[in-house]
Amino acid sequence: MPLTSDQLCGVGLFGGTFDPVHIGHLRTALELKNLLALAEMRLMPSARPPHRVLPQASPKQRMAMLKLGLAGEPGLVADDRELRRDGPSYTVDSLIELRHEIGPEVPLCLCIGMDALLTINQWHRWRDLTDFAHIVVAARPGWHLPESGEVLNFVEDHRLHQTRELQTTPAGGLLIREMTLLPVSATGIRQALQRGESIRYLVPDDIIDYINQHQLY
Ligand code: ATP
């Protein structure tokens, strides 16, 4: 049964490089927003991702493409806090800021892929993330948790099994949801462009126009 508007609650945060944002990100963000009955889902580009090579498009260009992708979908919001902050883009700092803005009671859901969960123990202050938010993991069918180690212990310490449990507490839980993720990646899109191939239907048309106008990738 769909939730009514007064049952909608909570804020989601979906971080990424978004170099460029594509239908895999957009569709997952929308599905998670609906699944978790969030009032809004914030998509937050990382300025200086600590664990990977620097993005090719500038922060301003990645944000411009993200805004084009989100146009017309009011529940999905571009969040530029990491682009405004100096230094490495640590997710925990963004959660602390956002928690301060929304107050202590509102559920906050940090949405990540299973690939990110498997290396979450490399993130800055990773054990503190659940002090400020729930963690919602989008898993592809066939992706597995590690069989042992500190990530598995962390999952077991925080794991919830019902979506409703996230809606009644502000932070501290971890929920894994299997989703059919579209087989699209920003790496694949950049490679297709370098080979001169079409990326039509992999990213919204307005973003393709922006990439062409600014001669990106
Ligand atoms: P790249 O290929 O440059 O690494 P990417 O396409 O994987 O980029 P990111 O910006 O690095 O995208 O990822 C941001 C978030 O989006 C991560 O949590 C990642 O798991 C998730 N994600 C990436 N691709 C998809 C997809 N096709 N469907 C759903 N989620 C995705």
Each residue's pLDDT tens digit, 118-132: 999 999 999 999 999
pTM of the predicted protein model: 0.93
Query: Residue 181 CA: which ligand 1 atom is closest?
Result: 28
Considering only CA atoms, which residue is closest to atom 24 of ligand 1? 185
Query: Residue 182 CA: which ligand 1 atom is closest?
Result: 27
- Ligand 1, pocket residues at CB < 6 Å: 16-19, 24-25, 28, 112-113, 115-116, 181-182, 184-187
Q: How far is CA 179 from CA 4, 31, 137, 198, in A?
A: 23, 9, 10, 27
Residues 44-60 pLDDT 10s: 999 876 666 788 999 99
Determine what percent of the chain is predicted with pLDDT higher than 90.
79
Residue 10 predicted with pLDDT over 80: yes
Residue 87 predicted with pLDDT over 50: yes
Q: How confident is the model at residue 4 (pLDDT cuts 50, 70, 90)?
A: very low
Task: Answer whether 184's CB lies under 8 Å from 23's CB.
Answer: yes
Which residue reads 């007064």 in tokens? 6
Q: How far is CA 9 from CA 3, 70, 175, in A?
A: 10, 20, 17
- What is the C-alpha to C-alpha distance for residues 31 and 86, in angstroms, rounded to an integer? 32
Short-list 51, 173, 52, CA closest to 123: 51
Considering only CA atoms, which residue is closest to atom 25 of ligand 1? 24
Cβ neighbors of 56 (< 8 A, separation 6 or more) are 19, 190, 216, 217
Considering only CA atoms, which residue is closest to atom 20 of ligand 1? 113
What domains lie within the chain, and their CATH numbers?
A: 9-181 (3.40.50.620)
User: What is the per-residue pLDDT for 141?
Assistant: 76
If one compares 115 and 208, the residue with the highest pLDDT of the two is 208
Query: Residue 17 CA: which ligand 1 atom is closest?
Result: 10
Determine what percent of the chain is predicted with pLDDT higher than 70.
94
Residue 107 predicted with pLDDT over 70: yes
